[in-house]
């Protein structure tokens, strides 16, 4: 089955840039979506189809995808960005949705 | 305005069958490309996709849980129902329903319910 691997945690200084990776076999050939989940809340879509932001999501959130790694970048990190982040793809070979292992972002 | 809301028992006993209902508004599951999915999250753990039903009544299931899951829809009531048989304490989780627009594989989970916590315990 297809697997997506994320770092367990990422720390970033206030105002600096955080990069969260999502590794998968040839993930660059798939559409990757990213979700933010704050404690006790449902996930919220922050990036879809690799690099697109839904309305209401700050421009500080951006995404890229190539080769075996997709990346969510949070620029000018704010305290409110502290959350768990999950990547997600559709594996067409098995007709299954797959979520990454999740990354906890801490803003110092 | 799109909304989804999960409902069902907060507590089930081991071996029992869980039935969860997702009631939604703001869209129709008869619209081409529209799908509703179930996703769960055990306490402190990652999201796990469970099942999806699309506008054409096609159904997709997690490989590991396929034998225990059934998803169905009632378009007239704007509801999607998930049943999971033979519940076990490891199935304790928050269960979410979410919408996808763009067909199976073609979209992303753009709207989510608030989730419902199901505890499996005797």
Could you tell me where the beta strands, DSSP code E, fall in chain A? Answer: 9-12, 18-23, 33-37, 44-47, 61-66, 69-74, 83-91, 96-99, 103-107
* Residue A59 backbone class (left: φ over 0; alpha: ψ -120 to 50; beta: rest): alpha
Q: What is the pLDDT of residue A93?
A: 87
Report yes or no: B60 at the A interface, CB cutoff 8 Å.
Answer: yes
Per-residue pLDDT band for B42 (boundaries 50, 70, 90) equals very high
Q: What is the pLDDT of residues B63-98, one digit of tens each?
A: 999 999 999 999 999 999 999 999 999 999 999 999
Report whether pLDDT(B113) > 90.
Answer: yes
Distance from CA of B88 to the nearest CA of A (A): 22
**For testing the chain B interface, which of A97, A98, A100, A101 should be mutated: the one with the most B CBs within 10 Å?**
A97
Report whether pLDDT(B106) > 90.
Answer: no
Report whether pLDDT(B102) > 90.
Answer: no
Report whether pLDDT(B105) > 80.
Answer: no
Q: Could you write out the three-class secondary structure of chain B? A: CCEEEEECCCEECCCCCEEEEEEEECCCCCCCCEEEEEEEECCCCCCEEEEEEECCCCEEECHHHHHHEEEEEEHHHCEEEEEECCCCHHHCEEEEEEEEECCCCCCCEEEECCCEEEEECC
Q: Lowest-pLDDT range, A73-82, A88-97, B1-10, B85-94?
A: A88-97
A85 near A34, Cβ under 8 Å? yes
Which residue in chain A is spatially nearest to B103 when comparing CA positions? Answer: A90
What is residue A54's DSSP assignment? P
- What is the average per-residue pLDDT within A72-84? 97
Report whether pLDDT(A94) > 90.
Answer: no
Q: What is the pLDDT of residue B116?
A: 98
Residue contact B108–A88, C-beta within 8 A: yes
Distance from CA of A17 to the nearest CA of B (A): 24
Which residues 25-44 in chain B show a CB within 8 A of chain A? 37, 39
Distance from CA of B15 to the nearest CA of A (A): 26
Residue contact B112–A100, C-beta within 8 A: no
């Amino acid at each position: 089955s297809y697997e997506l691997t994320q770092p367990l945690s990422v720390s970033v200084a206030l105002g600096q840039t955080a990069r969260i990776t999502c590794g998968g076999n040839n993930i660059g050939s798939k559409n990757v979506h990213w979700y933010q989940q704050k404690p006790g809340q449902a996930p919220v879509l922050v990036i879809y189809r690799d690099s697109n932001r839904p309305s209401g999501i700050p421009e500080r959130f951006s995404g890229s995808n190539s080769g075996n790694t997709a990346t969510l970048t949070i620029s000018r990190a704010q305290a409110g960005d502290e959350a768990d982040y999950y990547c997600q793809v559709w594996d067409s070979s098995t007709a299954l949705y797959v979520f990454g292992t999740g990354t906890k972002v801490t803003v110092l | 305005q799109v909304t989804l809301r999960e409902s069902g028992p907060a507590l089930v006993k081991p071996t029992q069958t869980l039935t969860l209902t997702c009631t939604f508004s703001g869209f129709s599951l008869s619209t081409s490309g529209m799908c509703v999915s179930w996703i769960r999250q055990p306490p402190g753990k990652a999201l796990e996709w469970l099942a999806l039903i699309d506008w054409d009544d096609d159904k997709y299931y997690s490989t590991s849980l396929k034998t225990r899951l059934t998803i169905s829809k009632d378009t007239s009531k704007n509801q999607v129902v998930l049943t999971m048989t033979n519940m076990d304490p490891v199935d304790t989780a928050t269960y979410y329903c979410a919408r996808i627009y763009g067909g199976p594989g073609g979209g992303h989970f753009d709207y989510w319910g608030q989730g419902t916590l199901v505890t499996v315990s005797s």
